[in-house]
Structure 1
């Protein structure tokens, strides 16, 4: 396991059991406890409320049992609170009605994550013994992919630029035997003009990274991730308060990389393509300007209404590349609009698709793996808000309404051949620590996409 996660162990006879309890199960659990432990639980006022913990001693004074309250069970990631709340040692989940041991194990792993690149964390993490029947290797692959994605989002821009995003994808490609192509320099300016335009203001060269994996004759699935290593807003510069978290503006790329890592690690039967345009939106004499008109890879001309709407520009060229082979399924991930956060908050990403059956499958996959999303409409009449008097379209609507919808409609213009297209508008950050979701970078929807693709294209 990564040093950022708790250890999983297979055999541990001395592992301390964790008994998960609900208000319904607590009376029978309490009745089955040894009398001293039951008395201790009552004396310490334990109740099966969500997140409540009781450390019960044995006859020798050592830790013998853990009681963990699940409350109403609405937060399925609640066991992710345990790694940060228990003393060093080895633990196991005791069998309990209504508790999914695999899901509890994954929550534990996700909750044990720590970002330690710049500050040593000397505290020993508790280990978890696998419950019989739980596929520890599969859960470890998912947790590792999430951890590495979180690391990318958490790393500040002085140590993570387009080159480092490329290096992260190269490492994933090498691990799974995938092919990789990178376009930079004059080739980028010619073939991906919007990516080049956004990234040309930075001394760190922009690039388009293109990974392929899997049998050529398998169903084609393409993931596209917005890789803006840092976003100043460009000449339409952000205020300082809005710039503080802009290291996370490559959160879409991190989610796409994590999802791709899970898919390849699971050996799903598909032809995977991962496309990441990686740039830094900086301010310099080379920066693109409001009012500029740029011809995209797709041939559409785009008037720049706001240089702080750069993510949709680089995604437009990447989506045009993906659309050229008309994949069976196209998914893009982006920290795109504040409007989606206003509508749904930081924990619930918005998604858009024209395919109702696909929308239902996406929602069901999110609920199945506790990685929820909410569908917003691609309301086509709003497309007129992107009209331009000098170009085929503007990159912003110029008004305060429907910002997430107009951004999604902008993107749809660049993938007309692909009908099964899902656009995720993410926040990519946990503002505060919740069970299984430590404060900091998050790869929202990566686990959802892995679940969705596992159902559609199971391992052959």
Structure 2
């Protein structure tokens, strides 16, 4: 699915954005007929309100959308998107009332409100189209929206149609679109190429595990994105209960996120040497599934005791991170739907991340605040390193006790990056209920914040 703004034309209906505080002053300058219509329509400027005002001949002359109060706006984002679905079909251009510093985010939200997952069922499209507000980078906003929609589509597709071969096909399609190079190592070739833990986690599935490796750009700093591509997670021999398995089609949300972010980077021609690594597997149950108590040897040579086969995402990421680190890029970023502990800590709306780099933290926090893409820093707490050291092997993939589950997972991953700057995002990748511009289902988290931070992070 792609996103696009309406073409500017004289037929676009003027749209006035009115907060509750601004409504009275705006009405005072309007003809009596407009005042009467607005009052009769019950329009108060509340968030999500929309009203079309007719002209003398009864045809639409202008439209109003509510912008609420400052307190109400702080409790959400993409406020114009809440009203867009209530407007009748047509093109709209913003005439007044939208704060300049919110124009880009509100325009993005309007585009995202047009997202429909229609692969299996026809969906009613968004009827109201927005002309890009003056002063925004319309091409960039379109790229951000299209990248987010790609992420949503990939997560929303069930594992029956989004297994490792399908995830590979999506990556190949993206590479072809942008002229990127792509290579894939599949099945037993993973062992031959020293990617043993990716092979071990995925070998029980009918659809072979693989490592997807995409590269784009030959100028600028080196950025490597690593995304967890567990296309379905049964939990392996430590089988999940049914309630916990229901959403496991989204366990490749990290891969979906980095592919969406890669589109944003490539579509806008960012000067960076981009590499995307995705270990794509299914964690299934069969006679050759890996077992609790097994000890695996990773690409890096570190041994890992398996205390829970449901902690498989960090295993496939570990091999991919070790491969990424060998190239010594300027920055490695991993994204994964890794732990339930992260959801308990911050809920579904925040993207928790780990970084010890003050410059990364500063750039990301600033970018997130301006991108309507909230993040929350979590600690690489060195005192917990002992929790991931079982004694019988170098590392434990599932420390007992349950304390600090997201932190210990991040510390585990950090062991595989020793030559590069590293940040890790433990995302949820799912919107549990409808919200403006974010329908229930798969969603991107952290990607727009990362995109906006990259120019500051990757200065030559």
Pick the aligned partner of 1:40 from 37, 44, 58.
37
Q: Which residue of 2 aligns with 1:136?
A: 138
User: Relative to structure 2, which stretch is displaced further, 7-16 or 230-239?
Assistant: 7-16
User: What are the within-5 Å matches in structure 2 for residues 123-272 of structure 1?
Assistant: 123=125, 125-190=127-192, 191-215=194-218, 218-272=220-274
Give the gaps of 5 or more residues in structure 2. none
Aligned counterpart for 2:343 among listed residues 333, 341, 345: 341
* SS across alignment from 2:21: coil
C-alpha distance after superposition, 1:16-68 (max 9, x if no partner): 22211123322222222332122122223221222222232222222222221
- Are 2:321 and 2:417, in contact at CA under 8 Å, matched by a contact in 1? yes
Segment of structure 1 superposing worse, 328-337 or 42-51: 42-51
The 1-side partners of 2:383 and 2:170 are apart by: 40
C-alpha distance in 2 between matches for 1:351 and 1:102 = 25
Q: Following the alignment from structure 2 to structure 1, what is the Cα–Cα distance between the partners of residues 456 and 434?
A: 30
- CA RMSD, 1 decimal: 1.7
Following superposition of structure 1 onto structure 2, how do residues 428-447 of structure 1 map, counting pairs within 5 Å?
428-447=429-448
State the shift of 1:334 in Å: 0.3
The aligned counterpart of 2:417 is 415
The structural deviation recorded for 1:161 is 0.5
State the shift of 1:457 in Å. 4.7
CA deviations 1:326-358 (Å, max 9, x no partner) are 211110000011111111000101100111221
Residues 392 and 123 (structure 1 numbering): CA distance in 2 closer, same or farther, change over 3 Å? closer
Between stretches 306-315 and 217-226, larger displacement belongs to 217-226
C-alpha distance in structure 2 between counterparts of 1:113 and 1:247, whole Å: 19
Once residues 116 and 333 of structure 1 are traced to their aligned partners in structure 2, the CA distance between those partners, rounded to angstroms, is 26
> Taking structure 1 as reference, are residues 93 and 457 closer, same or farther at Cα in structure 2, changes over 3 Å only?
farther
Alpha-carbon distance in 1 for matches of 2:275, 2:282: 23
Moved more, 380-389 or 305-314: 380-389
Q: Structure 1: how far apart are the matches of 2:162 and 2:214?
A: 19
Q: Is the 8 A contact 2:431 2:443 kept in 1?
A: yes
Q: Deviations over 1:369-423 (max 9, x none)?
A: 11110001111111111121321111011112100100000000010222x2110
Q: Which region of structure 1 is more displaced relative to structure 2, 271-280 or 98-107?
A: 98-107
Deviation of the 1:90 alpha carbon = 1.4
* TM-superposition CA deviations, 1:259-303 (whole Å, max 9, x none): 111111111111111000000111111111110100000100000
Aligned partner (choices 279, 291, 307) of residue 281 of structure 2 = 279
Moved more, 17-26 or 242-251: 17-26
Alignment-derived partner of residue 58 in structure 2: 61
**2:226/2:334 contact within 8 Å kept:** yes
With normalisation by structure 1, the TM-score equals 0.95
The answer (yes or no) to whether the contact 1:46–1:53 under 8 Å persists in 2 is yes
Task: Say yes or no: does 1:289 pair with 2:291.
Answer: yes
1-structure distance, mates of 2:152, 2:164: 17
Tell me how far 1:139 sits from its aligned partner: 1.6
TM-score by length of 2: 0.95
1:9 to 6, 20, 35: 6
Is the Cα–Cα contact under 8 Å of residues 318 and 416 in structure 2 kept in the other structure? yes
Q: Give the SS at the match of 1:139.
A: helix
Distance 1:293 1:33 in 2: 75
Q: Secondary structure at the match of 1:24?
A: helix
1:79 is matched with: 80
Match of 1:25 in 2: 22
Q: Secondary structure at the match of 2:20?
A: coil
Q: Which of 95, 101, 104 is equivalent to 1:102? A: 104
Cα distance in 1, alignment partners of residues 363 and 382 from structure 2:
22
Q: 8 Å contact 1:93–1:101 — kept in the other structure?
A: no
Runs of 4+ in 1 over 4 A off after TM superposition: none
What's the offset of the Cα at 1:364?
A: 1.2
